[in-house]
Amino acid sequence: MDPSEAEEGDTASAAPGIRTLLPTRDFLCSRKGQLLLAESGLSFITFICYIASWAASFMTVPLIEFLLALGLIFAYFFKLNQKFKGIYWPLADFLRCVTAAIIYFAISIAAVSKYSDGASKAAGVFGFIATIAYALDFYLIFKELTVFLKQGDSANAGPGEHKPEEDNSDSDSD
């Protein structure tokens, strides 16, 4: 074997070791991966804008959401959702997206209406765009959750079975 071929093999084998720390292309090209990247990018840009603005008191929300989105990127990449079965991951992600969308919407309105500097206006605009990204994410998660719940209901009821109404109820509606 030629020494130059051995060196090329060593550099090629060193690269996969570093690449194991980065998300795969398959995940980053998926819809969930792209939404998480958009959420983390928009949160980081909004965080930087709030730091430079007079509305610096709002900077904690984008920072926390950036860290949560980054954490979920690595959790999905390292398949922690398959390793830790005690956490219902879609529901946790749904709650994260709902709260982020509501809070981003509120602080963006406050930043645009209360403060007159350009950085606050830019943070508000990026906050509105982040609100749309988070709302789209929780809508898609909600659709997946409803499909999952409908499949669970049909699996529990056997063929020809239906859930009977409570015939012997103690209600006073009679």
Span 4-28, pLDDT tens digits: 554 444 444 545 666 666 666 777 7
Rounded Cα distance, 114 and 126, in Å: 16
Q: What is the band of 29 on the pLDDT scale with cuts at 50, 70, 90?
A: confident
For residue 113, being part of any structural domain is answered with yes
Rounded Cα distance, 121 and 133, in Å: 19
Judge whether residue 167 has pLDDT over 90. Answer: no
For residue 130, being part of any structural domain is answered with yes
For residue 20, being part of any structural domain is answered with no
Judge whether residue 101 has pLDDT over 50. Answer: yes
Domain total of the chain: 1
* Dihedral sign (CA 98, 44, 77, 30): positive
Higher pLDDT, 3 or 114: 114
Higher pLDDT, 108 or 13: 108
Q: Is 24 left (phi over 0), alpha (psi -120 to 50) or beta?
A: beta
- According to the model, what pLDDT value does residue 11 have? 47
- According to the model, what pLDDT value does residue 123 have? 94
- For 75-100, the pLDDT digits (tens) are 888 888 788 888 888 888 999 999 99
Asked whether 138 and 65 are in contact (CB, 8 A), the reply is: no
Judge whether residue 70 has pLDDT over 50. Answer: yes
Rounded Cα distance, 46 and 1, in Å: 54
**Count of beta carbons in the 10 Å neighbourhood of residue 79:** 10
For residue 71, being part of any structural domain is answered with yes
What one-letter code names the amino acid at 45?
I
For residue 165, being part of any structural domain is answered with no
- According to the model, what pLDDT value does residue 24 have? 67
For residue 26, being part of any structural domain is answered with no
Judge whether residue 63 has pLDDT over 90. Answer: yes
Phi, psi of 71 (to 5 degrees): -65, -40
Domain that holds residue 97: 34-156
For residue 62, being part of any structural domain is answered with yes
- For 112-152, the pLDDT digits (tens) are 999 999 999 999 999 999 999 999 999 999 998 888 788 87
Annotate 15-66 with DSSP letters as a single string.
Answer: HHHHHTTSPPHHHHHSHHHHHHHHHHHHHHHHHHHHHHSS-GGGTHHHHHHH
For residue 85, being part of any structural domain is answered with yes
- According to the model, what pLDDT value does residue 132 have? 96
